[in-house]
Amino acid sequence: DGGITQSPKYLFRKEGQNVTLSCEQNLNHDAMYWYRQDPGQGLRLIYYSQIVNDFQKGDIAEGYSVSREKKESFPLTVTSAQKNPTAFYLCASSIVTGGKHEQYFGPGTRLTVT
């Protein structure tokens, strides 16, 4: 988990509220990613960013938004439009060039919406 922090570890919200998950890295990585993990479904990519002020949708971007104003930070907002937001959210980062480099993951945030 070293080098990437996610806060908080557990988050509880009422249905209809937007919530923002924090992700910070001190690895000087250009690329950052957000994944959602549900039991038995592995990891699914929500959004990714390869450079400051630019980001792309992943496989399940609907109901989520991101920003990348600083290299170190890639916050994820879960909006009220996300129909099933309860999940474990993982942030990751990597070196961009060549695609040969592994991704480093944060400890995750477990979001529960009731």
Partner 1 sequence: AQSVAQPEDQVNVAEGNPLTVKCTYSVSGNPYLFWYVQYPNRGLQFLLKYITGDNLVKGSYGFEAEFNKSQTSFHLKKPSALVSDSALYFCAVREGNAGNMLTFGGGTRLMVKP
**Residues making contact with partner 1 (CB under 8 A):** 1, 4, 6, 9, 31, 40-43, 45, 48, 50, 58, 88, 90, 92, 94, 96, 99-108, 110
Compute the least distance from the CB of residue 80 to partner 1, in Å.
Answer: 26
Residue of 41, 39, 23, 40 whose CA lies nearest to 103: 23
Compute the least distance from the CB of residue 107 to partner 1, in Å.
Answer: 5
Half-sphere exposure of 80 (CA within 13 A, CB side): 5
* 85 vs 106, beta carbon nearer partner 1: 106
What is the Cα–Cα distance from 43 to 15, expressed in whole angstroms? 23
